[in-house]
A and B are shown apart, each in its own frame.
Chain A
Amino acid sequence: MKESVSLTWRRIPERYRILGTVCKNCDAYFFPLRQVCPKCRRKGRIEPHKFSGRGTVYSFTEIHSGPAGFESQVPYVMAIVELEEGPRCTGQVVDAKLEDVKIGDPVEAVFRQIQVDGDEGLIHYGFKFRKVKQ
């Protein structure tokens, strides 16, 4: 989807720095950030938290038919990564082919270009993951 400047700009802290939140009442971590703790609800105490970006592959796929903005990248590997603080998120796995990735592989977040809106549009940045050598 073509994103407007403000739409992508307001997510910069989360997308560039893996900034989420934590509920100080129950110690649950949220990335992407949540303003309401689903467990504590109104008793929750939400504070910002910067995630380490380290985690493990929980599931993965290789996309052969990509959405608009990703056509030139296919095939590429996508994963749901379980961050070491607990929450999971979805991101691309760079520098890896399908056969290189397994469930449980350790990965770390890296800052990358995500997509480009045509020849004259915005360039969107954010996080992807790469395998960590064991």
Chain B
Amino acid sequence: MGMRKVAIIGAGMTKFGEHWDRGFRDLVIEAGIKAIEDAKLTGNEISAGYVGTMAPGSLVGQEHAGALIADYMGLNPVPITRVEGACASGSLALRQGMMAVASGMHDIVVVGGVEKMTDLSTADVSEILGGAGDQEWELFNGITFPGLYAMMARRYMHEYGAGPEMLAAAAVKNHRNGAMNPYAQFQKEITLTDVLNSKTVADPLKVLDCSPITDGAAAVVLAPLDKAKDYMKNPVEIVASAQASGTLALHDRPTLSGIPAAQIAAQKAYAQAGMAPQDIDVAEVHDCFTIAELMAIEDLGFFPRGEGGKATLEGKTAIGNGRVVAVNTSGGLKAAGHPVGATGIKQAVEITWQLRGQAGKRQVPDAEIGLSHNVGGSGATAVVHIYRKVGA
């Protein structure tokens, strides 16, 4: 298509968690500076930026996030554009940045994701996040996001005979990974019994099936692949970027036991990369609820339909199993935390560190190919990126 190849030449993030002392701009600037320093840029090379953030207007009363970030990053008059796709906002920003570099419009582009969520009560945050669904036909009638994913879980269990321990196994594995990630919100292991005995939020989902409310930001710097080595000795190439839309309301989907938009995005991404699911060594998938991880690893083709739960319970997605693919080495949304706009970029940062061999105790041995899977709402937006260690 005449498009240029694109690489990540810098990556950075804040610790995810409750940052009572730090605001929206403090978080995103910290992540941006870390990514720029990682790429060893002066700042003058940057010609554009994109930021993914879902709801700063509702969460902290601040819209116009692109201009705020350009200003406080000291980057004026560089254009920075905010993009929004609910919990997939970060990956949409990455995709916009990638297209800007691939097209030749810009050379060095900084891409960020951020959400500042803990300034409001849990009830207020839940209501704002509800806006990712259909306000007039889902939320109005009393459903919640845990409730929507609970209805997916019910169908998944009904159609495949899966048990609650299979859902819980995803949370246990992600907490084990999160315990090895100094950036994770929860660096503590939990057991199957802990999950199964935790309080019900929306039956059959328990508190420990759900990702938390989190403050955080992440950023990457993109460059044309042919110039990437000028900045970074081990850049990571983005070999595929695919996005698909599905119905806004869960009830309008043909199936509830998988996410059709994610299946389509995955197929498109594999086609772009000329790869298959078995080529992936490490994947960050959107586990906003445990059921979402089981559906994700099936939608991505790592396991046949209905077998994601059993595979998770058997440890096939754990780090270092050497059998299939390591899933959510960061701890996923469950343990690393889910500052919604930041999540897609955090996934890219984690994959970058894994492919550069910088993931510390949670390093997947010999990881060369990575994938990120980011979902907005109950599945109305899905984005899949595939990454390759340069030289692999």
Contact = CB atoms under 8 A, between A and B. Distances in A.
B205 to A, nearest CB: 8
A32 interface: yes
Nearest to A81: B251
Interface in B84-132: 123-124, 126-127, 130
A58 to B, nearest CB: 8
B141 A114 contact: yes
Interface hub of A59, A70, A114 (most chain B Cβ within 10 A): A59
Interface string B127-152: 10010000111111111101100111
B203 A90 contact: no
A67 interface: yes
Interface string A43-76: 0000000000000001111111111101001001
Contact of B154 (A11, A103, A124, A126): A103
B256 A63 contact: no
Contacts of B136: 11, 32
B158 A103 contact: yes
B140 A114 contact: yes
B359 interface: no
Nearest to A89: B251
Interface in A61-108: 61-68, 70, 73, 76, 78-80, 87-92, 98, 103
Contact of A67 (B130, B137, B205, B252): B130
Given A61-B203, A90-B143, A67 B123 contact: yes
Given A114-B141, A126-B140, A90 B202 contact: no
B140 A63 contact: no
A90 B250 contact: yes
B8 to A, nearest CB: 36
Interface residues of B, number: 35
By size class, the interface of chain A is: 20 to 34
Nearest to A73: B142
Contacts of B127: 1, 67-68
B137 A32 contact: yes
A91 B152 CA distance: 15
Contact of B202 (A65, A70, A87): A65
B233 interface: no
Contacts of B147: 61, 63, 78
Nearest to A127: B141
B142 A61 contact: no
Interface of B: 123-124, 126-127, 130, 135-144, 146-147, 150-152, 154-155, 158, 199-205, 249-252, 256
22 contacts: A3-B140, A59-B256, A61-B147, A62-B202, A63-B144, A65-B144, A66-B144, A67-B139, A68-B124, A68-B127, A73-B142, A78-B151, A80-B256, A87-B251, A88-B251, A88-B252, A89-B137, A90-B141, A92-B142, A115-B140, A126-B140, A126-B141
